Structure 1
Amino acid sequence: MSEIIHFIKDMLAEYGLWGLIFVSFADSSFFPIPPDFLLIPMGIANPDKALFYAFITTVASVLGAIFGWFIGKKIGRPFLKYIISEKRIATVEHYFNKYGSMAILIAGLTPIPYKVFTIFAGILKVPLRTLVIWSIIARGLRFFLEAAIILTLGEAALPYIEENFGLISIVGALLIIILYTVYVMVKKKKKASSS
């Protein structure tokens, strides 16, 4: 399986920006290869375009998330069962039950397959606006963070990201969850005191 993925990745790399757009869109809806595999080498090869690549990757990924949401809404579980196991579906369902729409944020920042969450958001009829907002935040943070690391470390960015990005993204997701929770609590407190 990994040989097939490497072959597809190499083939998409030949298309440059169009390959990056395709893989960014498809990763959020139906494809097994995350865009980081193209974004990072392209950013290292052209550091002056690293932020532009991060922007394009974010936009295409959010559009793919919308497509994934429609897949979930129209086809639902049968499609999910086709691409992942029942055990993984149960795990995703657990995340949505525990964290609500914040599960989209967590998946968007971490190495968890994002498409599963966008499709599941459609199945659960999470408002499309909510999906788009969390997708912009999560995917933007992830891809712009990678671009920032590329701009800071240059060619050393690839091994650094490979070794540390999972941990960095999980910490980032936890910080956002904490900040959001504090924001919601402060908002509720203000509302309670004004009534």
Structure 2
Amino acid sequence: MKLFGPLYERAMRWAAHPRAVSLLAGLSFVEAIIFPVMPEVMLAPMTLARPKHWFRYATISLIGSLTGAVVGYALGHFAFAALQPVIQWLGWGPAIDAHVAHLREVVAQSPWQAFWLLVLAGFTPIPLKIFTWAAGIVGVPIVPFLASMLVGRGKRVYLLCGLIRLGGKRAEQALHRWIEVIGWGVIGLIVLLVIYFKFWH
């Protein structure tokens, strides 16, 4: 079943929209809270079309992601119980529970250990919303949380835009070709993490 391909195509159409910059900021924002498509699918064609603007596009995406991360954190911290039915319906419950359990252990040792864990999370293909909600539920201190989002997501978007700037159309074509594999691979990775934390951690 093709799920991520159609979403990718929609994001590609957004990239050609006259208000693509605003749509990029919006996609980056909602991806950190609920949306399943990474903003990179807009960043790539936008950077390819206007390579001299790569730094600007990466910065806009980062600001959108940081703002969305704060909202996701707040929802996890203040509204997790009330939103449980929605979370379970979306299928996020097991993944969030697993990350919450792990984060609680890490934060109990040191809040700045949580910083490094979240930095790594921001650079992986695991959806950012899983970590923003989990961090809010656990109550990771806000300064380490924001710093981790800035570093983790920042190096990811700047690296991608820089590579597209250097690699040109071949880099974007590779992303298009492998988007379905990447999307389902992320889901598989989440399932494996849930199983690991539930049964062996």
TM-score, with normalisation over the residues of structure 1? 0.74
Does 2:147 correspond to 1:133?
yes
Q: In 1, are the aligned partners of 2:123 and 2:153 still within 8 Å (CA)?
A: yes
Q: Structure 2 stretches of 5 or more lacking a match?
A: 108-113, 183-201
Q: Which deviates further from its counterpart, 73-82 or 60-69?
A: 73-82
**CA pair 98-111 structure 1, distance change in 2 beyond 3 A:** farther
TM-score, with normalisation over the residues of structure 2? 0.72
Structural mapping, 1:1-195, within 5 Å: 1-2=3-4, 5-6=7-8, 8-10=10-12, 12-13=14-15, 14=17, 15-76=19-80, 78=84, 79-97=86-104, 99-100=106-107, 101=114, 102-159=116-173
Amino acid aligned to 2:157: F
Structure number with larger C-alpha Rg: 1
Q: Which runs of structure 1 show a deviation greater than 4 angstroms over 4 or more consecutive aligned residues?
A: 97-100, 159-163
Partner SS for 1:30: coil
**CA pair 8-137 structure 1, distance change in 2 beyond 3 A:** same
CA distance in 1 between counterparts of 2:76 and 2:39 reads: 21
Identity level (%): 26
Q: Which deviates further from its counterpart, 46-55 or 92-101?
A: 92-101
CA distance in 1 between counterparts of 2:161 and 2:6 reads: 27
CA distance in 2 between counterparts of 1:29 and 1:90 reads: 16
Paired residues, number: 164
Aligned equivalent of 1:178: none
**CA pair 124-115 structure 1, distance change in 2 beyond 3 A:** same
- Answer 1 or 2: higher relative contact order, Cα 8 Å, separation at least 6: 2
